[in-house]
Amino acid sequence: MKLVGIISTTVLLLLLGTTAAACAQREEHAQEAKPAEHAQGKQEAKQAKSSQHAEQKQESRQAKSSQHAEQKQESRQAKSSQHAEQKQEGRQAKSSQHAEQKQEGRQAKSSQHAEQKQEGRQAKSSQRAEQKQEGRQAKSSQRAEQKQEGRQGKSEQHAERQEYAQRSQGGGGNSGGRIPDDRFRAHFGRDHRFRINRPTMVAGHRRFRYGGYWFGFIDPWPVGWYYTDYVYVDYVGGGYYLCNPIHPGVRIAINVVL
């Protein structure tokens, strides 16, 4: 019995020792596990902080990048708007300047045109005045010449008439003759017109031939008549006259030269 008791006690002691050793080992393991867990916790905490810090940096970078992009976009939009406003202002300034230049050009042209018109009117007025003055002087000179020629013509006409009267009274070969009525109606009168063209001088006296007869001038050739004018011989009041249709009311006394 003692032996059994000893064995039992021994077994119990071994069991207790084994248990104690196991507990001690567990405690050691637990103590060893705590620093590892602590280190792992620290590592995880560091990793979490690092990840959080990285995320914060990433978010900060993204925020800065987004803010920078927005600032760039706003700056571009502001520059574009400013450039557009400057272009618009430049166009408006150019348009206003162009309009002012056009207006000034129109005003200058209008002023120049008005000056040219005024100068033209003055020149025309001066030219008209000079022409009127020249016309008056020419008319005055022409009247004076006509009066002088009229006086000379009257004097010559009076002398020729006296000479014709003397020749008629003397009954010489130059006395006036008479054209038979039937021959006169056939070749003379208003319906039988002709041109003298150039008179013939005979013994210092002018003559022309028409219708088979020679005619001599008693009256002088009127001013304004031309030898190329159409004329006709008419018989009025017992005498023969040379008439010009262009100058009615004026006639030249002529005689038939036998």
The model's pLDDT over 176-221, given as tens digits with 9 standing for 90+, comes to 689 999 999 999 999 999 999 989 998 888 999 999 999 999 999 9
Would 126 be classed as within a structural domain?
no
User: In this predicted structure, what is the pLDDT of residue 130?
Assistant: 73
CA angle in degrees (0–180, nearest 5) for 49-52-58: 140
Average pLDDT of the chain to the nearest whole number: 74
pLDDT in tens, 35-82: 555 666 677 767 767 777 767 777 768 757 777 767 787 768 757 767
Whole-prediction pTM: 0.35
Residue range of the domain that includes 247: 176-257
- Separation between Cα atoms, residue 103 and residue 38, nearest integer Å: 93
Would 28 be classed as within a structural domain?
no
Would 26 be classed as within a structural domain?
no
Whether 195 contacts 230, CB under 8 Å: yes
| Number of domains the chain is built from | 1
Would 228 be classed as within a structural domain?
yes
